[in-house]
């Protein structure tokens, strides 16, 4: 049966009418003959699914219990094309790795390659363009995976860190959503997994990749950071083992990859000071990685929405690395500042001399300009979500650039 046929003659509710919801409605109208299509944008307790045969839910909507009527774009697409999909997830690095893999496969194979999902266009926008030879690189967020009951033929689970605790009720629930990328795989499928990912249940052939594997790797990347060498290792192994790509061609393609905006992105030099935009940084480990990756870095702007993430690693890093300055802002920045005073403030309860507290981004940039020496760099790497203050991390990065 054609996947589109399952919707023919059915009463369908599209829950959520953002980018993906609009894409879903367009797909249904073009490819199917449903009895009806309704749109719902309310809260879970307002939903009455009884009149409908199928509810296609957008990924940002949290529903704790699985309802047999619920499906999603991700599940619909995988049901049709899972054998051609390389799914990429992880707390950090999935956009860069997906884009890097997309470029390498385009450069090093003679097959059509598309990039969809959390970074590209909604997957159903490409439904009619996929041929039997198409390679599909699909960046998959935890929200897209949460209610999926199909896994891709090739799964990539880069890493796992504490995040999204404002959305999921526990770290265990967050991991469960992520783990769906491998949970429904079959024998004959492949899983490439980072060594800090907790134990997974899958029938696929699993390859574990460790940062130790790239310590002496022969990469020459334009993008900064040891973590990007690690991302490149995933790409190299998949391109060569799964698609027979030539090693020299893969390394050349990787060396040409320019990176993505707001990810350790060099912005400009002004008045002798360099500026870097790492607004994608939403967890402590990302800010620490930025400090270890950017040459001549002096001042870091940290803080944003407080989602209850454990900041002990970053607090300890700040105290131990007096060669850097840290300007704390917004709610999580204030919490980091308070934790530094609590743990390292001594009897006088003063913050370390390399730490400053301001209210918001504009003040943070002003303070950074004031304290940063010529020849050094200012880095926006918030270690926190942007929500509540900005629409998303992209807007936060754009505002930072405008303030420079």
Average pLDDT score over residue span 288-314: 95
Predicted pLDDT at 7: 95
Average pLDDT score over residue span 59-82: 89
Predicted pLDDT at 1: 52
Domain boundary among 71, 99, 117: 71
Strands 70-71, 85-89: pairing is unpaired
Pair 186, 314 in one domain: no
pLDDT digits (tens, 9 = 90+) for 169-194: 789 989 999 999 999 999 999 999 99
Q: Could you give the CA distance from residue 7 to residue 52 in angstroms, rounded to a whole number?
A: 11
What element of type H or E holds 19? helix 19-31
Pair 29, 101 in one domain: no
Domain annotation covers residue 314: yes
Cα dist from 245 to 99, 239, 249, whole Å: 17, 6, 7
pLDDT digits (tens, 9 = 90+) for 349-369: 899 999 999 999 999 999 999
Average pLDDT score over residue span 66-88: 94
Q: Give me the CATH number covering residue 312.
A: 3.90.190.20
Predicted pLDDT at 170: 87
Pair 290, 355 in one domain: yes
Q: Check pLDDT > 90 for residue 204.
A: yes
Predicted pLDDT at 227: 92
Q: What is the domain extent for residue 387?
A: 265-403
* Residue 235 CA, distance from chain mean position: 16
Q: Could you give the CA distance from residue 307 to residue 166 in angstroms, rounded to a whole number?
A: 5
* Percent of the chain clearing pLDDT 70 (strictly above): 99
Domain boundary among 26, 50, 71: 71
Domain boundary among 256, 282, 300: 256
Q: Could you give the CA distance from residue 88 to residue 101 in angstroms, rounded to a whole number?
A: 10
165 falls in which pLDDT band (50, 70, 90)?
Answer: low
Q: Could you give the CA distance from residue 21 to residue 27 in angstroms, rounded to a whole number?
A: 10
Count of domains in the chain? 3
Domain annotation covers residue 325: yes
Q: Check pLDDT > 90 for residue 68.
A: no
| CB-facing half-sphere around the CA of 111: CA atoms within 13 A | 19
37 falls in which pLDDT band (50, 70, 90)?
Answer: very high
Pair 89, 202 in one domain: yes
Q: Based on the number of CB atoms within 10 Å of its own CB, is 349 exposed (0-12), middle (13-18) or buried (19 or more)?
A: exposed
Pair 219, 344 in one domain: no
Exposure b/e, 256-267, CB count within 10 A at least 16 = b: ebebbebbbbeb
314 falls in which pLDDT band (50, 70, 90)?
Answer: very high
Decide which of 76 and 120 is more confident. 76
Pair 194, 269 in one domain: no
Tell if the pTM clears 0.85, that is, is over it.
Answer: yes
Domain annotation covers residue 1: no
Pair 149, 234 in one domain: yes
Q: Give me the CATH number covering residue 97.
A: 3.40.1190.10
Pair 103, 252 in one domain: yes
Q: Are 342 and 315 in contact (CB under 8 A)?
A: no
Predicted pLDDT at 236: 97
Q: Which residue has the tokens 């949970």?
A: 183
Predicted pLDDT at 284: 95
Q: Which residue has the tokens 């500026």?
A: 275
Residue 193 phi/psi, 5° resolution?
-130, 135
Domain annotation covers residue 127: yes
Q: Quick one: which of 16, 108, 30, 103 has its CA closest to 59? A: 16
Domain annotation covers residue 3: no
Q: Could you give the CA distance from residue 386 to residue 280 in angstroms, rounded to a whole number?
A: 9
233 falls in which pLDDT band (50, 70, 90)?
Answer: very high
Domain annotation covers residue 366: yes
Pair 31, 167 in one domain: no
Pair 280, 395 in one domain: yes
Domain annotation covers residue 5: no
Helices and strands (DSSP H and E) totals, the chain:
12, 16
Structure tokens at 98: 């997906």
Domain annotation covers residue 4: no
Q: Quick one: which of 254, 258, 220, 358 has its CA closest to 299? A: 358
* Percent of the chain clearing pLDDT 90 (strictly above): 85
Q: Check pLDDT > 60 for residue 266.
A: yes
List alpha helices for 192-329, DSSP H.
Answer: 226-243, 247-256, 284-293, 312-320
Q: Could you give the CA distance from residue 312 to residue 305 in angstroms, rounded to a whole number?
A: 17
Pair 162, 100 in one domain: yes
Q: Based on the number of CB atoms within 10 Å of its own CB, is 318 exposed (0-12), middle (13-18) or buried (19 or more)?
A: buried
Decide which of 231 and 66 is more confident. 231
Whole-number average pLDDT of the chain: 94
Kindly tell me the sign of the dihedral angle through the C-alpha atoms of 172, 174, 179, 183.
positive
Pair 33, 88 in one domain: no
């Amino acid at each position: 049966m054609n996947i589109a046929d399952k919707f023919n003659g059915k009463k369908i509710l599209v829950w959520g009418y953002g980018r993906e919801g609009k894409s879903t409605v367009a797909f249904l109208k073009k490819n199917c003959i449903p009895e009806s299509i309704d749109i719902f944008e309310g809260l879970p307790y307002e939903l009455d699914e009884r009149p409908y045969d199928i509810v296609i839910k957008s990924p940002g909507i949290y529903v704790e219990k699985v309802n047999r009527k619920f499906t999603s774009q991700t599940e619909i697409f995988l049901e049709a094309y899972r054998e051609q999909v390389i799914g990429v997830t992880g707390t950090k690095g999935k956009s860069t790795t997906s884009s890097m893999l997309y470029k390498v496969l385009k450069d090093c194979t003679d097959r059509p390659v598309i990039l969809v999902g959390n970074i590209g266009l909604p997957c159903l926008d490409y439904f009619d363009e996929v041929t039997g030879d198409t390679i599909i690189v699909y960046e998959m967020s935890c929200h897209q995976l949460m209610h999926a009951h199909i896994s891709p033929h090739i799964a990539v689970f880069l890493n796992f860190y504490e995040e999204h605790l404002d959305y999921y009720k526990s770290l265990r629930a967050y991991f469960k959503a992520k783990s769906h990328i491998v949970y429904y795989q079959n024998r004959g499928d492949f899983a490439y997994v980072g060594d800090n990912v907790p134990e997974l249940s899958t029938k696929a052939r699993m390859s574990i990749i460790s940062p130790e594997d790239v310590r002496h790797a022969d990469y020459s990347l334009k993008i900064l950071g040891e973590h990007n060498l690690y991302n490149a290792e995933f790409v190299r192994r998949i391109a060569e083992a799964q698609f027979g790509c030539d090693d020299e061609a893969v390394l050349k393609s990787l060396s040409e990859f320019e990176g993505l905006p707001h990810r350790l992105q060099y912005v400009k030099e002004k008045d002798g000071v360099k500026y870097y935009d790492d607004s994608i940084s939403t967890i402590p480990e990302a800010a620490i990685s930025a400090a270890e990756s950017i040459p001549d870095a002096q001042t870091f702007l940290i803080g944003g929405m407080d989602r209850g993430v454990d900041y002990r690693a970053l607090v300890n890093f700040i105290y131990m690395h007096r060669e850097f300055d840290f300007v704390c802002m917004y709610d999580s920045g204030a919490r980091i500042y308070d934790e530094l005073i609590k743990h390292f403030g001594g009897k006088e309860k003063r913050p370390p001399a390399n730490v400053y507290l301001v209210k918001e981004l504009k003040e943070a940039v002003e303070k950074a300009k004031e304290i940063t020496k010529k020849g050094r760099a200012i880095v926006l790497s918030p270690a926190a979500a942007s929500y509540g203050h900005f629409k998303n991390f992209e807007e936060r990065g754009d505002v930072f650039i405008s303030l420079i």
